[in-house]
Chain A
């Protein structure tokens, strides 16, 4: 468990950057409040429909922040030093991912907590909603590990913009049905829309796990692939 020592240091790095952490946590709250008036005119923007999308969109900040800290550290002499220590690629990926898990939980708690105050209702099992959304948050952290392992700190924001757009058009803000055709199919190949659809189905229609199993495994599968890929890429970067 040597990676926990490094995770502890990374946790401090994350939490000692008030601007970054404020943005990561403050963004979903701001969005919920911003869309509240529109919800009276358009049912898509009511808290119950919108909350899963806002939560998933907020996770893009986890990708950005985790990707940036890993990329920045990779460029620093400190990581060169740590790479000479007896740690493996999966230790590094774990150490850079773990500090973001409490951040994701806070994001979810805020979105659904404040959403509840604004009229959010969950017809089905709230635990199931949390499970789907939480696994998706881990996936976004995994995506950050890919970006951080592969790119420089200057390149991460560029690629992250693409992740951001894919999330917006993947059902977070824009209903996929409105886009239709090939774009809808392409978005369905990614995990983001599956996470949002599954959470909405439980919240609005009260469906059980069996009804969202395909969506859930889609999200879980992508999350595992993101972490596996992040680890492979980081391992390649360990020895030039």
Chain B
């Protein structure tokens, strides 16, 4: 479709299609009975962009990805991937995408080579090409030594890494990574981050996660999604700047009781219990005021500090929810 073409579905008019974008969604929605899982999402993701979708469980992230991958039919609205409509031209969409699903998706009876050959072959790659790419990918994920072992003998982390590289063997233009590091130990997670970072700019990547550090470290832009709606969209810095008027004070202290914390909550809207203390967020407060409240109530203050807002703070501020709930 030509740049700037207006598309219509019935009486509704959608945003304009634009070929600069690898992915565009037009009032994309999905209902399950009365539940609106995805509510009229409009997105435009540029080619080569690493776009992260952040949200708690049940926010609509996976439903959105499934619609974009042609696994779920939108209830209304539509989307295009590299210019191909996800409902009308599914095979063309499937030729340019690949997905690493949230669950580890591997053939347990096969070895790593055979798993990668399976995926490469299905996408129509020549044997030699599959072999060459598989060698690179197995090396990248540190799986070369165990490549000939049946994958059912692999550890959870190894299976996860294999599941991710299976999405890369077809060399897709658009890569969907649905919670790629979910349940991994910190070391494996960091290793996968490094590999994802290497792909930045080379492919359009949509990364769903509820690890804020992941989005902060990797994403060019982040959409925060809650109850099926996008509640914020921007670069990680833009999102953090959007709440720059919010001050965060961290108090490390002993003898903090529930009554004291509840008392603080009456003064300040956001008081969160953290390790060895509390975190207070407010547009205005003075350190003295907080200290003067805590000390007479028997609280032993070990330190106080001011913290820059994180994506976690942005999310909490916008949705009043913890991401890792």
Contacts and interface: CB of A to CB of B under 8 A. Distances in A.
Nearest to B124: A2
B121 A5 contact: yes
A205 interface: no
B106 interface: yes
A86 interface: yes
State which size class the interface on B falls in.
Answer: 20 to 34
Given A5-B118, A5-B122, A81 B101 contact: yes
A2 B110 contact: no
B6 interface: no
A8 B117 CA distance: 11
Contacts of A84: 69-71, 94, 97-99
A72 to B, nearest CB: 11
Given A9-B114, A82-B122, A16 B73 contact: no
Contact of B91 (A5, A6, A76, A88): A88
A129 B207 CA distance: 58
B107 A9 contact: yes
B166 A9 contact: no
Interface in A188-240: 238-240
A52 to B, nearest CB: 34
B151 to A, nearest CB: 11
A68 B263 CA distance: 60
Interface string A74-104: 0011101111111110000000000000000
B109 A81 contact: no
B103 interface: yes
A12 B151 CA distance: 14
Interface string A1-23: 01001101100110010000000
Contacts of A77: 101-105
Nearest to A10: B107
B72 interface: yes
B83 to A, nearest CB: 16
Contacts of A78: 105-107
Interface in B69-114: 69-73, 90-91, 94-95, 97-99, 101-107, 109-110, 114
Contacts of A8: 118
A222 to B, nearest CB: 30
B105 A12 contact: no
Contacts of B110: 9, 12
A240 B72 contact: yes
A223 to B, nearest CB: 27
A85 B69 CA distance: 9
Nearest to A73: B107
Secondary structure of the B contact surface, majority rule: loop
A85 B103 contact: no
B164 to A, nearest CB: 11
Contact of B71 (A12, A87, A240): A240
B101 A9 contact: no
A2 B97 CA distance: 17
Given A6-B118, A77-B105, A240-B72, A86 B123 contact: yes
B112 to A, nearest CB: 14
Interface in B101-151: 101-107, 109-110, 114, 117-119, 121-124
A80 B71 CA distance: 8
B122 A2 contact: yes
Nearest to A9: B118
26 contacts: A2-B122, A2-B123, A2-B124, A6-B122, A8-B118, A9-B118, A12-B110, A13-B109, A16-B109, A77-B105, A80-B71, A81-B101, A81-B167, A82-B122, A83-B71, A84-B97, A84-B99, A85-B94, A85-B98, A85-B123, A86-B91, A86-B124, A87-B94, A87-B122, A239-B71, A240-B71
Interface of A: 2, 5-6, 8-9, 12-13, 16, 76-78, 80-88, 238-240
Interface of B: 69-73, 90-91, 94-95, 97-99, 101-107, 109-110, 114, 117-119, 121-124, 166-167, 170
Given A80-B105, A239-B73, A240-B71, 10 more contacts: A2-B123, A5-B122, A84-B70, A84-B98, A85-B119, A86-B94, A86-B124, A87-B122, A239-B71, A240-B73
